[in-house]
Structure 1
Amino acid sequence: MGTQNLLWRDGGEMSGDHTVTMKLTKRAVDALVAGPERYSAWDIELKGFGLRVSPQGRKTYIVRYRTMGGARRMLTLATSEVLTTEEAREEARRALARVAMGGDPQRVKAERRAEMTVRELCELYMEEGTATKKETTLHIDRIRIKRHINPRIGNMKVTDVARADIQRLMIDVGNGNIRKDATPHTRGGKGAAARTVGLLGGIFNFAVEYGFIEQSPVRGVKRYRDNRRDRFLSPAELARLGDVLSAFEKDGADPRHITILRLLALTGARKSEIACLRWSELDLDRGLLRLRDSKTGPKIIPLGAPALELLSAIKPNGSKFLFPDRRRPDQPTANLDWAWVRIRSKAGLDDVRIHDLRHTFASAGLASGEGLPLIGKLLGHAHVGTTSRYAHLADDPLQAAANRISTRVADALGIGAQE
Structure 2
Amino acid sequence: MNVSDLCDRYMLAAEAGAILTRFNRPKKASTLATDKGRISRHIKPLMGKKAVEEIDSRAVKRLISDITTGKTAKVVKTKLRGRANVRGGPATAARVADLLSGIMTWAVDEGIIQHNPVHRVRRFRSEARQRFLSNEELGRLGAVLVAGKDDKEKPFHPHAVNIVRLLCLTGCRIGEITGLRWTEIDFELKCLRLEDTKIGKSLRPIGDSAVMVLRAQNRVAGSPFAFTGSRRKVPYQGMAKEARRIFKAAGIAGATPHTLRHTFASTASGLGYSDGTIAGLLGHKGRGVTSRYVHRPDQALASAAQAVSEEINILLDPAKRKLEPVERSVSSAISNVDLETENRPS
Offset, 1:284: 0.9
Q: 1:345 to 1:162 in 2, by over 3 A?
A: farther
Please list the CA deviations of residues 376-418 of structure 1 after superposition, one character each: whole Å capped at 9, or x if unmatched.
211112459xxxxxxxxxxxxxxxxxxxxxxxxxxxxxxxxxx
1:325 to 224, 229, 250: 229
2:74 to 180, 183, 187: 180
Instruction: Check conservation: 1:194, 1:226, Cα contact below 8 A.
Output: no
Matches of residues 145-224 of structure 1 in structure 2 within 5 Å? 145-174=39-68, 178-181=72-75, 187=87, 189-224=89-124
Count residues in correspondence: 271
TM-score when normalising by structure 2: 0.68
Asked whether 1:127 is paired with 2:15, we answer: yes
Partner in structure 2 of residue 277 of structure 1: 180
In structure 1, C-alpha distance between the alignment counterparts of 2:47 and 2:277, rounded to whole Å = 46
Partner in structure 1 of residue 315 of structure 2: none
In structure 1, C-alpha distance between the alignment counterparts of 2:249 and 2:44, rounded to whole Å = 35
When Rg is computed on C-alpha atoms for both structures, the one with the higher figure is 1
Offset, 1:179: 2.3
Please list the CA deviations of residues 52-104 of structure 1 after superposition, one character each: whole Å capped at 9, or x if unmatched.
xxxxxxxxxxxxxxxxxxxxxxxxxxxxxxxxxxxxxxxxxxxxxxxxxxxxx
In structure 2, C-alpha distance between the alignment counterparts of 1:350 and 1:144, rounded to whole Å = 28
Asked whether 1:354 is paired with 2:242, we answer: no
Asked whether 1:259 is paired with 2:159, we answer: no
Instruction: Check conservation: 1:321, 1:332, Cα contact below 8 A.
Output: yes
Q: 1:209 to 1:230 in 2, by over 3 A?
A: same
Offset, 1:230: 1.8
In structure 2, C-alpha distance between the alignment counterparts of 1:232 and 1:115, rounded to whole Å = 41
Offset, 1:242: 2.5
Q: Aligned AA for 1:288?
A: C
Give secondary structure in 1 for the equivalent of 2:197.
coil
In structure 2, C-alpha distance between the alignment counterparts of 1:246 and 1:175, rounded to whole Å = 44
Q: 1:323 to 1:114 in 2, by over 3 A?
A: closer
Q: Aligned AA for 1:320?
A: P
1:225 to 102, 120, 125: 125
Give secondary structure in 2 for the equivalent of 1:375.
helix
Offset, 1:147: 4.2
Give secondary structure in 2 for the equivalent of 1:213.
coil
Amino-acid identity (%) = 37
In structure 1, C-alpha distance between the alignment counterparts of 2:210 and 2:70, rounded to whole Å = 38
Matches of residues 228-243 of structure 1 in structure 2 within 5 Å? 228-243=128-143
Partner in structure 1 of residue 271 of structure 2: 368
In structure 1, C-alpha distance between the alignment counterparts of 2:45 and 2:246, rounded to whole Å = 32
Q: Aligned AA for 1:194?
A: A
Please list the CA deviations of residues 273-314 of structure 1 after superposition, one character each: whole Å capped at 9, or x if unmatched.
111111110111111111122112211111112111100101
Offset, 1:123: 3.6
- Give 5+ residue unaligned stretches, structure 1: 1-112, 385-419
- Give 5+ residue unaligned stretches, structure 2: 77-82, 288-346
In structure 1, C-alpha distance between the alignment counterparts of 2:13 and 2:127, rounded to whole Å = 27
Matches of residues 387-398 of structure 1 in structure 2 within 5 Å? none
Asked whether 1:291 is paired with 2:182, we answer: no
Give secondary structure in 2 for the equivalent of 1:332.
coil
Q: Aligned AA for 1:372?
A: D
In structure 2, C-alpha distance between the alignment counterparts of 1:208 and 1:365, rounded to whole Å = 44
Q: 1:346 to 1:337 in 2, by over 3 A?
A: same
Q: 1:176 to 1:267 in 2, by over 3 A?
A: farther
Offset, 1:150: 3.6
Matches of residues 31-70 of structure 1 in structure 2 within 5 Å? none
Q: Aligned AA for 1:165?
A: A
- Please tell me the root mean square deviation across aligned C-alpha atoms, in Å: 2.9
Offset, 1:154: 3.6
Please list the CA deviations of residues 210-233 of structure 1 after superposition, one character each: whole Å capped at 9, or x if unmatched.
333333221231232342212111
Q: 1:312 to 1:339 in 2, by over 3 A?
A: same
Higher percent of residues as helix: 2
In structure 2, C-alpha distance between the alignment counterparts of 1:155 and 1:210, rounded to whole Å = 20
Higher percent of residues as strand: 1
Instruction: Check conservation: 1:117, 1:156, Cα contact below 8 A.
Output: no
Instruction: Check conservation: 1:288, 1:302, Cα contact below 8 A.
Output: yes
Q: 1:115 to 1:154 in 2, by over 3 A?
A: closer
Partner in structure 1 of residue 283 of structure 2: 380
Give secondary structure in 1 for the equivalent of 2:193.
strand
Query: Could you tell which deviates more after superposition, 182-191 or 299-308?
Result: 182-191
Q: Aligned AA for 2:195?
A: R
In structure 2, C-alpha distance between the alignment counterparts of 1:359 and 1:235, rounded to whole Å = 13
